[in-house]
Every structure is written in C-alpha cells, then in structure tokens.
Amino acid sequence: MSTFVVVGGDAAGMSAASKAKRDDPDLDVVVFERGQWVSYGACGLPYYVKGEIQSLEDLVSVTPEEFREERDIDLRIGHDVTEIDPDGRTVTAQGDDGEVEQEYDHLLVATGAEAVTPPIEGLDREGVYTLGSMSDGKDLREYVARARDEGNLQQPDRGLACQFLETCTGPVGIVGGGYIGIEMAEALAANGFEVHLFQRGDRVLTQFSRATSEAVLDHLETQDVAVYLDSEVRELAGDGSVEAVVTPDDRVPVEMVLVGTGVRPRTALAEAAGIELGETGAIATDAYRETTVQDVYAAGDCAEAEHVVTGAPAYVPLALTANRHGRAVGQTVTGSPTEGGGVAGTAAVKAFDVEAARTGVLPEEARRAGFDPLTDTIEAKSRAGYYPEGGTVQVTLTVDRPTGRVLGGSLVSEYGEGAVHRSHALVGAVTEGVTVDELANYDLAYAPPFNTTWDPVLTAAKVVDGQR
C-alpha cells in the first residue's frame, strides 16, 4: 500500500490529506501535527478575543476525531517532526509515546509560518503576546477576561472604543499596523481598552494603496485609537511585567503589548533535509507544488507561489492559497497531476466600521516588475443616490500605461458598502490579464440597493483609461 505523509495539520495539510483519501480510499494517509489543534481558522482569532466568537472550538472546521473516524486519516497530534530523510524516504517524529519513524512514498511539508520576532528589548516580559496560534488566542482572551474581573475596564456605550481616551483604563500597546494589528485594535477597543498602535513606517496597511491606508487611519482615529507613525519600538520596558512601550520619541505606559509585525515561513525542517528555498525565503516549488526533492511537496504558509501579474515567485501566506494548494497536492499524489494555481495577493481587512480590500500589484511593485504604472483614485456612491441608505466606495486602480493591462487595485468603504465584494471583479481582471477598457465594459450587476448604474469599479476604469 502506498503511503502519503503530511507534516502539519492545518489548512494545506488537512486539505491535502482529505482530498487524497477521497480520491484514493486505499491510500495510507498519515498526518503529524505538533500541536493539539488541526484544521482551524486562525483568521478568526481576533474575533474570538473580541468576544464575537464564544469558543475556540467554533474556529475548528473538522475535529481530530472526525478526521480519524469519518475520513480514515491517521492523524497524530502532539507529534513534532524532527527530521526528513529524502534518501531513506522517512520522517522522524517525537511524541508523548517517544520517537516514531514513518516511511513515505509522497510527502507534503505544510509547516506553516511563525510570528516575526523584531529586534525589540523586552519581548520576553510578562504581558507581551503574539497571535499566531490557537493557544495565543486563548491566552489573549484570558487576559481580557482577567482585566474585566479585576474591574480595570470601563465598558464604552457603543461597544467600541471609549469616546474619550482619558475616561478609559487598561492602556495596551500594539506593535505593527498590518492585518493583525488593525483587527486587534478593534478587538481590544471593543473591550474598553485604551489602544496605542505603533507603526515603524509612515502609514498603516502598507500592502494597500496609500489612499486606502489613509482612509483606514482616519477611521482609527475617530475610534480613539492612538496611532504612532514612523515610530520604531526600541523597548518594552518594565520590571518583570511590561509597563511601557519605548520609541525614540515616546514612552507610553501600557499594561499589555501585542506584537503583530508579520510572519515568516517555517522552513528549518525543509532546509535541514536539503530542500531548496526560493528567492522569497519560503520553500521553492514548481507549478504542482513539488519541491527540489522528488516526491516531496510544499504548500501553505511555508511555501512560495507564482504571482499572476509579475510571473515571479511571491510569498502570500493566506488561507485560500493554503487550501487550494493543499487540495491540488492531494490530487497530484493520487495520480491526477494538478497545478495549485498562481496568487494575486488578494486580501481584505475590517477596521471597526470600514472594510478594505486589495489585489494584484500596486505602483511600487509594478515598477520593480518592469511595468510603467498609471494609477488614480476615485470615490463614488455605493448605492443609487435616491436610495435611502448607502455610503461611498473609494477605488484606487493601477494599470500598465503602454498596454492598458489591469495590474491591481485597492478599495475601501464603510463596512457593508461593498469594497470587499467589489474587489472580486478586479481579481478576475488581474488574473486574466484584462485591459482597463475591457474592465470598463464589464457587465456588473445593478440594482439601487446594491450599487449605482455605473459601479465604482467601472467608474475607476473609465477614469484611468481616459488618462492613457
């Protein structure tokens, strides 16, 4: 019997294991997961900390028991794979029952990513947290609960940030203005904390257009989140426990700090086995997710993929990519070679009462890739002007000036006014290499409760096309 071994039990790993077992029920599928959780939605952790999701178990898609009993997958949690031997075609894992050696015919490395550890003094102090795992989420939720029990928090009337910072207690710091930082600012402010967010660059959400970043920043400030731009954190000061965030210009008293400065691929196991990394620092693969070692694949947050616009390797650690690529590996190892597909860098974020989305490449990256980018930002109504509800949508569109090819876009709107769903039209355009005049003629749906006759995406395409 052929054996498919998977290292890592989250999105990519369990998607691959499940698909392989469905396509070939006789295949022996073994999954090693060093933690106690599998197949969980880490993207939901900020909303668990906030209190909108009541239980960690709610974030689990399929339980270990279901994988074992209903899908016939040999899932071994609490087993840390310590070595891959490509010559002997074995993996060695350490568990509570001692060391285990497992042979494989095909192997998937799905070791995920880990939180970046910035060069900040005091990261080991009590009260300093990250949010990269279910246990991290549990710890943060317990911190919020303790703060409530100790009576340190005054609950705001609107369930969001305190109306005036001086009326709040329980100041907390967030280091990093990316996805986690923004989402956790909302989660902590919703629980009555006085939130201070520190960003080393000159804007938050640097993956988005500057116009989108500025719109989100403006909204954060209306929610009484104190944002410190161009503020590189030097130290998390304190005597045992963290007491202050120290930058070259400020010393801000805090009672807790969340460090959310990004993630990096977890590649040590692969490197030790002689598997090559790509130029992004993640594991290099071909279109079928096979690495430089025969019959060894890599997928998810530890691996790179090809960008659909630039054609170059890209590192985009997001859930859909992990699921797609894992599923493709499951098909490939059972005899149906399947490409995982490229990535467009599509992402979305909610910040209190606004939503933002992005896809493709923006001007700086476009120039590095050899394009001549033309970009503009428009703002339009989200629904028909006579409709009694609605807001605005801001669209930043980037195209290649000589060819008109749509390269990327960034959108922001009030929450529920469609920035994220409108971005899907741009994803299609970016992925298929559509020109801006073709995009302007997309037959998008129209009805007064949903948009204007000329959707904001179409309006942006017409404006940018007129400037070529």
Cα(303)–Cα(293) distance, rounded to whole angstroms? 14
Nearest to 305 by CA among 349, 271, 339, 261: 339
Burial class (CB in 10 A: 0-12, 13-18, 19+), 313: middle
Which tokens in the block code for residue 436? 């801006």
Nearest to 231 by CA among 254, 207, 261, 201: 201
Q: For helices 11-23 and 319-332, what crossing angle results, to 10°? A: 30
Q: Are 35 and 21 in contact (CB under 8 A)?
A: no
Q: What amino acid occupies position 424?
A: H
Give exposure, 218-249, as e/b (b: 16+ Cβ within 10 Å): ebbeebbbbbbeebbbebbbbeeebbbbbbee
Nearest to 445 by CA among 418, 466, 463: 418
Which tokens in the block code for residue 336? 């149906």
Spacing of C-alpha 234 from chain mean position: 26
Q: Are 298 and 108 in contact (CB under 8 A)?
A: yes
Which tokens in the block code for residue 199? 């960003």
Which tokens in the block code for residue 86? 């490509």
* Residues 6 or more apart whose Cβ sits within 8 Å of residue 76: 30, 31, 32, 33, 93, 95, 100
Cα(155)–Cα(151) distance, rounded to whole angstroms? 10
Sign of CA pseudo-dihedral 87, 299, 53, 125? positive
- Strands of the sheet with 256-259, listed across from one edge: 128-129, 256-259, 171-175, 194-198, 226-228
Kindly name the residue from 43, 162, 168, 302 that is annotated as catalytic. Answer: 43
Q: Are 205 and 178 in contact (CB under 8 A)?
A: yes
Answer yes or no: 168 catalytic.
no
Task: Show which residues are catalytic.
Answer: 43
